[in-house]
Amino acid sequence: DTAVSQTPKYLVTQMGNDKSIKCEQNLGHDTMYWYKQDSKKFLKIMFSYNNKELIINETVPNRFSPKSPDKAHLNLHINSLELGDSAVYFCASSRTSGGPTDTQYFGPGTRLTVL
Amino acid sequence: AQSVTQLDSQVPVFEEAPVELRCNYSSSVSVYLFWYVQYPNQGLQLLLKYLSGSTLVKGINGFEAEFNKSQTSFHLRKPSVHISDTAEYFCAVSPSGSARQLTFGSGTQLTVLP
C-alpha cells in the first residue's frame, strides 16, 4: 500500500496552460505539504495544510493554488504555467502539525516539464 | 530563520569504505535535525533525526549522525557503504517544537563505486 501517492508521475505541458497535481495519503495524517525541488535538487516548502486549513504559505506566485477537499488530499493547481515552473513537486504528510515526534512522509514526486 | 549548508555536492566512495557526509546549520533558536535519503526517481525517506538527548543518533541502514552544538554540525556517517547506498542525501533543520517547518540543504550525491 502506498502511503503518500501523487498523480501524475510525469507532466509535460506548454507554457500558459493550467495543470493540477493530485496528492493523497492513506496514513490518517492531519497535515500535508507541497515542496518544490528545482534542477539543482534544492528542496523548498511551498504550502502546508492542517485539517484542511492553510498553515504555511511561503512566498509562492499566486498562480499556485493548493486545494484540500479533505484531510487526506492536497491538490496543487497551477495557472498560466511558465518555464521556471519546471521542477519536481513533492507532496508530504505528517501526523500532526509538527510535534517533536512528527515525521514527514514524502510521495514519489511529480516531474513537471514546461515547454 | 534557519539555514543548512551541505559542504559537498558529490561524494564518490568505494564499496565497503567508510563515508561522512557533512552538514552545518545556522539558527537563532534551538533546532531539530534530520537526514533524508532520496533514491533515484523516488521520494524522500527519513534516515534519522535528532530531537534532544544523546548527541549520537542511529538511523536505518546502518547510518548514524552526531549533533555537535558548538560546531553547529550534524554530520552523517556509515562505517562501510554498499552499492545500494548510492543516492542523494539531504540534511534538514526545523525549530524545535515545530517539525513542520523543515529547511533543507542542497543535497549530497553519494556514489558508491564497485
Which of B44, B99, B104 is nearest residue A102 as measured by Cβ atoms? B99
Torsions phi, psi for B42 (to 5 deg): -130, 170
Position A1 scores a pLDDT of 59
Which of B44, B98, B106 is nearest residue A106 as measured by Cβ atoms? B44
Residue A84: half-sphere exposure toward Cβ, Cα within 13 Å: 4
pLDDT tens, position by position, B71-93:
999 999 999 999 999 999 999 99
- B44 within 8 A of A90, measured Cβ to Cβ: yes
User: Does pLDDT of B105 surpass 90?
Assistant: yes
Contacts of A99 in chain B (CB under 8 A): 97, 99
- Which strand (E) or helix (H) includes residue A6? strand A4-7
Q: Across the interface, do B99 and A43 touch by the CB < 8 Å criterion?
A: no
What mean pLDDT comes out for the span B84-106?
Answer: 87
- B81 within 8 A of B16, measured Cβ to Cβ: yes
> What is the pLDDT confidence band of residue B2, given thresholds at 50, 70 and 90?
confident
Q: How far is B97 from chain A (nearest CA, A)?
A: 5
**Among positive and negative, which fits the CA dihedral A60, B32, A38, B45?**
negative
Position A101 scores a pLDDT of 63
Position B6 scores a pLDDT of 95
Q: Across the interface, do B43 and A31 touch by the CB < 8 Å criterion?
A: no
pLDDT tens, position by position, B41-72:
788 899 999 988 899 999 999 999 999 999 99
For cell 560546531, what's the residue? B71
Contacts of B88 in chain A (CB under 8 A): 41
Among the listed residues B38, B20, B41, B27, the one whose alpha carbon sits nearest the alpha carbon of residue B98: B27
Contacts of B97 in chain A (CB under 8 A): 98-100
- A9 within 8 A of A113, measured Cβ to Cβ: no
Q: Which of A5-14, A47-56, A103-112, B27-36 has the lowest mean pLDDT?
A: A47-56
Q: Across the interface, do B104 and A42 touch by the CB < 8 Å criterion?
A: yes
pLDDT tens, position by position, A51-110:
878 877 777 888 999 999 988 999 999 999 999 999 999 999 988 765 666 788 899 999
User: Does pLDDT of B114 surpass 90?
Assistant: yes
Q: Across the interface, do A103 and B46 touch by the CB < 8 Å criterion?
A: yes
Cα gap B74→A73, rounded to integer Å: 34
Position A82 scores a pLDDT of 96
Which of B43, B94, B97 is nearest residue A106 as measured by Cβ atoms? B43
Residue A5 burial by CB count (10 A; 0-12/13-18/19+): exposed, middle or buried? Answer: middle
- B2 within 8 A of B93, measured Cβ to Cβ: yes
Contacts of B100 in chain A (CB under 8 A): 31, 33, 48, 55-56, 94, 97-98, 102, 104
Position A97 scores a pLDDT of 61
SS3 string of B27-83?
CCCCEEEEEEEECCCCCEEEEEEECCCCCEEECHHHCEEEEECCCCEEEEEECCCCH
Q: Across the interface, do B100 and A31 touch by the CB < 8 Å criterion?
A: yes
Position A2 scores a pLDDT of 66
A41: closest chain B residue by CA: B106
Distance of CA A96 to the CA centre of its chain: 17
What mean pLDDT comes out for the span A29-43?
Answer: 89
Cα gap A50→A64, rounded to integer Å: 18
Position A100 scores a pLDDT of 61
In the predicted model, what is the mean pLDDT of chain A?
89
Q: Which residues of B touch A (CB under 8 A)?
A: 32, 36, 41-46, 49, 51-52, 88, 90, 94, 96-102, 104, 106-107
| A85 SS3 class | helix
